[in-house]
Amino acid sequence: MDTDEQILLTDTLRKTMTTTTGAALYTALRDLGWHDLLTGPADTAEVAVPLVFRLLGETGAHAPLLNDVIAHAAGRPFGEAVPLPFTGGTWVRWDSDGPPGTPEPLDADLPLRRLGDTTELPVAAAELPIGAARRALGWWLVGSARAMLGLARTHALERHQFGKPVAGFQAIRHRLAESLVAVEGAEATLAVSPGDAHHPAHPDLHSPRPEESESLGALLAKAAAGRAALVTARNCQQVLGGIGFTAEHEFHRHYRRVLVLDGLLGSARELTREAGATLRDLGYAPRLAHL
């Protein structure tokens, strides 16, 4: 996919996501060739997945695309609603039209519902290849963080105190800068291809298999994205002040979205602990990318 094609795809997706969401957006994305992008050449999917999920975050739209990412990685048919691990050891499913008695969604804007009877579910769900979904979800979190940062920056430039924009105050600048650094770092982590992990100083040590390296890389990328989004949400809330707490302002929708998405497929705190346990078991820190 060349640069012109990426620009055209970005503009088309952005226009679509700003006018529709949910099931209607999923139908529109299928008509635009979402499944073809997933199943096409590897370089096409490497561009399309980050782009689509980042735009979901920036526009505030949603669609059950994580199901398709997992289905493609598992070799399953598209359209299946798969169980997804959620923070605290619970399980959820993307279910917009549940039967009578279906639990209420975790958030009013996202049709993620907790599963009732999970007696046999965790074993089957644990076999799902969620590494690719974690990376996709990381881009969604980064997109939401970018949206919050944009709202806070605009407010800081337009809000005046003592005769000048509050963007000139050092405390405001520090909060925005900290958020930008966190988001940029998360994007860099998501963009890294794990490659063949090894320990150059100890070549005789057992190195993780490529799939293990990919899993660890995706875990760390999701954790970095979740942390960056939460840091951005906290800082931008302070920059916006009282207006950020109102239902009329767009910020609170992104903040709620980040809280839910961080918990999906493991929260930043849980994944950090899991990564630490993995490295402790290995006995060394594998190289996740060739520099």
Q: What is the CATH number of the domain that holds 136?
A: 1.20.140.10
Q: Is 229 exposed, middle or buried (0-12, 13-18, 19+ CB in 10 A)?
A: buried
Do 87 and 196 lie in one domain? The reply is: no
Partners of 160 in beta bridges = 165
* Residue 13 shares a structural domain with residue 152: no
pLDDT for residue 152:
96
81-99 average pLDDT score: 81
- Please report the pLDDT score of residue 185 as a whole number: 95
Same-domain check for residues 270 and 149: yes
Same domain, 192 and 247: yes
pLDDT at site 108:
80
Please tell me whether residues 159 and 238 are part of one structural domain. yes
pLDDT tens string 190-222: 987 544 344 444 444 444 555 556 788 899 999
Sign of the C-alpha dihedral computed for residues 270, 271, 275 and 278 taken in this order: positive
Mean predicted lDDT score pLDDT of the chain: 85
| pLDDT band for position 180 (cuts 50, 70, 90) | very high
Check if the beta carbon of residue 144 is closer than 8 Å to that of residue 57: yes
Same domain, 277 and 196: yes
Do 38 and 89 lie in one domain? The reply is no
Q: Answer with the one of 126, 141, 157 that is the final residue of a domain.
A: 126
Span 17-57, pLDDT tens digits:
999 999 999 999 999 999 999 998 888 888 999 999 999 99
pLDDT of residue 211: 55
In a domain, 291, yes or no: no
Question: Is 193 part of a structural domain of the chain?
Answer: yes
Determine the structural domain holding residue 114 and report its residue range. Answer: 83-126
pLDDT at 143 over 60: yes
Q: Tell me the per-residue pLDDT of 259-274, one tens digit each, with 9 for 90 and over.
A: 999 999 999 999 999 9
pLDDT at 130 over 50: yes
Burial class (CB in 10 A: 0-12, 13-18, 19+), 139: buried
Integer CA distances (angstroms), 78 to 97, 143, 162, 252, in order: 17, 24, 57, 32
Between CA 160 and CA 164, with CA 162 as vertex, the angle to 5 degrees is 45
